[in-house]
Amino acid sequence: MGVLLFDVKHEIISSAIQDANIGENGFVFVLDEQNHLVYAPTNKIVYRIRPEWLWNEEEPVTAVTNGEKYQISYQKSAYTGWKTVSVSSYREIMGGINTMLIMFGWVLILTILTVFIVAVKISETVTKPIVRLRNLMKETEKGNLSVRFEGDYLDEVSELGRRFNQMLERIQELMEEVYKEQENKRKAQLKTVQEQFKPHFLYNTLDTIGWMAREHSAYDIVHLVDALTNVFRISLSKGKDYITIEEEIRYISNYLYIQKIRYGPKVQYEIQAEEDCMKVVLPKMILQPLVENSIYHGVKMKNGDGHLKITGRVEDDWVSLEVWDDGKGMEEEKVWELSRLLNEPGEAGRNRSFGLFYIKERLRIRYGEQFQVLVESKEGQGTRIVIRIPKEVQNDLEKG
């Protein structure tokens, strides 16, 4: 049997142990199998380590020495029996753990925030088209059928949007068909009335009356017959459903002249129309029902003389036609009822206010929803009715 000895320099052990990084206050030292100190750094804590603390290699020991809490563990060499003891500051260990916990907390917060942002974006991607489609449906409830859903995505909401667009287009087609059918029906009715009047016979008769009046120097009758003839020429003009405002004003002027002859000073009237609106085209005899209402339900019902004023003016791309009287006026409830009927679709209010219904339907057939009929009235002060239509001249009418 022989003995093999190895001589290891102390500096090598010292360098290897000092390279161990176990914190600012931690250190490593070496004991032999009899727990005699083989190597230790310059640290007085080494001499406070008790041998009974080194009884379990598998489980570290926590001890307090010199007012500081330490965690002590060791590894025993199976060949030499030496123990490499590691002493770590418990405060530094927990500080590292706390740092890791803080870092983990920040990572967790950032992860949750990222997940939340992604979830919000995904939710917006899904809900925004639904909200947009819902808002479009609300617009259609108000009667606006020109709205359309925009979206080319291959998802369920976009498919609903496309079906919604198809439904609106079909509704508009059906409405146009109904309007055309109603317009054709009214044209046929008007044509029947025109045929019954036999205009040529009527004009010849009126012309004869006029000449007879001239022969007897009854010039008031001559003027009355001329006015009546002009009224009939416009109202019975065949195949001409649209006239200029200039022609409409001329018609109203003759109509009011006849009414003034009938009622005398009871009917005082004034007509003012801007030159820019004279060539604008509109459905024939739109103002006559309003003027007639102003006479029979307004100035005729008041005490004293009555006044009517008809005005026409251009407002950008619109033309505003106004009929005003200082007659009896209407109660607030009646004004509210008329305004409501004018905004109702279909034939609402036809039996209760035929004149306004007739005007509303003729304007709707021509302009769709691009027109307004406004009613203002105060009991005992008079009534004001305003019609606003797009500014269309003869060329626009021919294109339409």
The confidence band for 46, taking pLDDT boundaries of 50, 70 and 90, is low
Judge contact between 372 and 360, C-beta under 8 A: no
Which residue in 94, 101, 92, 71 sits closest to 23, CA to CA?
92
User: What is the chain's mean pLDDT, rounded?
Assistant: 80
User: pLDDT-based confidence at 9, cuts 50/70/90?
Assistant: low
- Domain extent, residue 21, equals 10-95
Looking at residue 187, its pLDDT comes to 80
Q: Is 326 inside any structural domain? A: yes
Q: Residue 290 belongs to a domain with what CATH number?
A: 3.30.565.10
Q: What is the largest CA-CA distance in the chain?
A: 172
pLDDT in tens, 260-278: 988 888 899 999 999 999 9
196 part of a folded domain: no
Tally of domains in the chain: 2
Closest CA to 372 of 382, 360, 384, 381: 360
Domain membership of residue 248 (yes or no) is yes
Q: Which of 59, 75, 95 is the last residue of a domain?
A: 95
Q: Look at the alpha carbons of 120, 121, 126, 131 in this order and tell me if their dihedral is positive or negative.
A: positive
Mean pLDDT over residues 39-65, rounded?
Answer: 68
- Amino acid found at 16: A
When pLDDT is averaged across residues 291-318 and rounded to a whole number, the result is 90
Among 177-181, 329-333, 343-347, 355-359, the range scoring the smallest mean pLDDT is: 343-347
Highest-pLDDT range among 183-192, 234-243, 259-268, 344-353:
259-268
Tell me which DSSP letter residue 265 carries.
G
In this prediction the pTM is 0.50
Residue 5 lies in a domain: no
Residue 246 is which amino acid? E
> What's the rounded Cα separation, in Å, for the pair 138 and 156?
20
